[in-house]
Structure 1
Amino acid sequence: MNKTVKHSMMAVLAATLGLSASLAQAQTYDSVYVIDSRGVVALSGTGLCWRTGFWTPAGAAKDPNGCKCDKDLIPKEICEPKMAAAAPGVKPMGEKITVAADALFDFNKSVLRPEGKAKIDEVVAKSGRLNLEVVIVVGHTDRIGGKEFNQRLSERRAAAVKDYMVSKGIPANRVYTEGKGLTQPVTKPDQCPNKLGRAKLIACLQPDRRADIEMIGTSK
């Protein structure tokens, strides 16, 4: 055997011995897989995990690398455990209160009456039961008068309710207002015909003149 071949074989042998020593040094626990010097499973050229002579399906199921290397051979419940049910969160609760506009305002007005303030005081008191997140105030009118007039009136009324609630301690940035004008009546189209005459028509349409106050938060 010439020197060149002899030296080559010795180099390969030394490299093999060095790799074996490296793997042995890295194998710090009784794994059923070969662990390299980086502390990870040694892979073949095709990406498969190298198994030790101690490998068994049962051993793979207990090995931390088992699911990565031999998932198809390991019971599904080991590699895909059921997620623990998440603890139920505290769901926001809501309370919607409808206050008749006639109790809050004079007809066609947006200035709160004393009786209206008393009604809102009741609403503010109820808000104390909540860790308040938001208050939504929506103003509504009846169909008497023009569409644009009623839209503006409903917005002014919602704003008046907000201003009073803020004066009673509700944070302004928690209160949102909206005016729906005459677009969402409670009464039916044939329930209050125009032929009733103005006074009776105003009385008949009373349910349409309202303010919806919705409080949303979590209970204390």
Structure 2
Amino acid sequence: MQKKPVTTSLIVLALAGAAIGTAVAQQNTGYVIDTRGAVVKSGFGECWRTGYWTPAMAIAECDPGLVKSAPAAAAAPAVETMVVHGDGLFDFDKATIKPEGKARLDEAVARLKDKKLDKIVITGHTDRLGSAKYNEKLSQKRADAVKDYLVAKGVDKAKISAVGKGSTMPRTKADECKGKKTKKVVACLAPDRRVEIEATFSK
């Protein structure tokens, strides 16, 4: 008995698979899709639509004129952060802005007025010396002092918020500046005593 060529059955199976795949693709995309998932095109490069096709199914590859352009993504707001050294703004353990501190803040105000301001967040920080409760109050007083200064210089009060973080966010590492309150330790902890001014602008 003569055996049938194996290639015949393989071709039939392949065609059956293609037909099933095409039927599913027709319902889902509106275009004829081959077994590789590519859109079937004519010799002129035109896509083959199915009876299920509607303008809502149009894809850029086949019907670019019917595809609506996606709305442009909103531009991300620009954020600028200015860190002012605490000792440059205030005397140690004080919340009254020093003359040199006011000069630094005047520079910040000049930069703010040149842009479309959305909001400003002022955050006060202290070093670890003193109790947590005391440091929180001191950092809040310093943040409020900076806020009041900016408002006095014409910055919209409604766009400014001020918060004190105390000593909860130090810049020095845990193994640095060890020991009790001495001139050396106070100087070492200087990076922790700061006010951060984060301004967000619209582009």
Give the TM-score, by structure 1 length: 0.63
Aligned partner of residue 73 in structure 1, secondary structure = coil
Which letter does structure 1 place at the counterpart of 2:139?
S
The yes-or-no answer on 1:103 pairing with 2:88 is: yes
The equivalent of 1:206 in structure 2 is 190
CA root-mean-square deviation:
1.7
Q: CA deviation at 1:83?
A: 3.6
Q: Work out the CA distance in 2 between the residues paired with 1:88 and 1:181.
A: 38
Q: How does 1:38-187 map to 2 (within 5 A)?
A: 73-75=51-53, 78-81=55-58, 82-187=67-172
The equivalent of 1:215 in structure 2 is 199
Greater radius of gyration (CA): 1
Q: Work out the CA distance in 1 between the residues paired with 2:185 and 2:90.
A: 18
Aligned length, in residue pairs = 147
Which letter does structure 2 place at the counterpart of 1:80?
M
Q: CA deviation at 1:79?
A: 2.7
1:167-202 deviation line (CA, Å, top 9, x unaligned): 00001111001100000000001111116x610000
Aligned partner of residue 150 in structure 2, secondary structure = helix
Q: Work out the CA distance in 2 between the residues paired with 1:89 and 1:201.
A: 48
List structure 1 runs of 4+ shifted beyond 2 angstroms: 78-83, 87-91
* Structure 2 unmatched ranges of 5 or more: 1-49, 59-66
1:114-144 deviation line (CA, Å, top 9, x unaligned): 0111111111111123210100000000001
Q: Work out the CA distance in 2 between the residues paired with 1:75 and 1:96.
A: 53
Q: Work out the CA distance in 1 between the residues paired with 2:90 and 2:117.
A: 26
Q: CA deviation at 1:211?
A: 0.4
**Sequence identity (%):** 41
Aligned partner of residue 145 in structure 2, secondary structure = helix
Aligned partner of residue 90 in structure 1, secondary structure = coil
Q: CA deviation at 1:92?
A: 1.2
